[in-house]
Copies of this chain bind each other. A is one copy, B any other.
Amino acid sequence: MKQPRKSDFPVSQVRRYLEPGPIVLVSSALAGKTNIMTLGWHTILEFSPSLVGLMISSGNHSFEMIRESRVCVINLPTTALTETVVRIGNTSGRSIDKFAEFGLSADAASAVDAPLIGECHANFECRLHDDALVDRYNFFIFEVVKAHVAASPKHPETLHYTGDGVFMVSGKIISRRSMFRPEMLG
């Protein structure tokens, strides 16, 4: 699979990729093992610090790995990875090594001890910022401490999960920039 060339991206602007609500792949590492899960329940919480909230169901093998390591990487797949996304979501890291099984490249992150998925369009390295709602809601608040984004395409086709095996696809763009007040842009 192709690995897009990525550059550093400002962490305060990750909303550009996450606010539209795509399915993401969350990668983690603990005690020499890695894992990947699919995740659709996330939201931006703040520009700076760059905060993102993730609901990671405690039934996932990744849950304890992330809770203990206190880091993860949020990876953005495009529709080129649709089948891989589905396979990742339908298997468990308890029984397989997902990087090996699905032929994905585990690249070294620069700020956290968890692997980047090389084939994804963007990778956001995250450190746990607040675990106040982990026990009650499995809701983790992370700070994005480093972001890597492919320069092209500018607006890749992303997958947006509706449940029941069905994804909506985003990628078509409409701009209404001229209708915005200047202070609402950026």
Contact = CB atoms under 8 A, between A and B. Distances in A.
Interface string A13-34: 1011101111000000000000
Main secondary structure of the interface of A (DSSP, over half): mixed
A155 interface: yes
A12 B176 CA distance: 34
Interface string A49-72: 001010100000000000000000
Contacts of A40: 19, 44
Given A19-B160, A43-B41, A184-B90, A166 B175 contact: yes
A43 B51 CA distance: 14
Contact of A165 (B15, B141, B172, B179): B179
10 contacts: A15-B162, A17-B162, A19-B41, A20-B160, A21-B160, A41-B43, A90-B179, A166-B175, A169-B174, A170-B170
A155 B168 contact: yes
Interface of A: 13, 15-17, 19-22, 40-46, 51, 53, 55, 79, 82-83, 86-87, 89-90, 130, 132-133, 136-137, 139, 141, 155, 158-181, 184-186
Contact of A21 (B22, B46, B172): B22
Nearest to A175: B166
A165 B173 contact: no
A178 to B, nearest CB: 8
Contacts of A155: 162, 168
* Residue in A89, A176, A184 whose Cβ sees the most chain B Cβ within 10 Å: A176
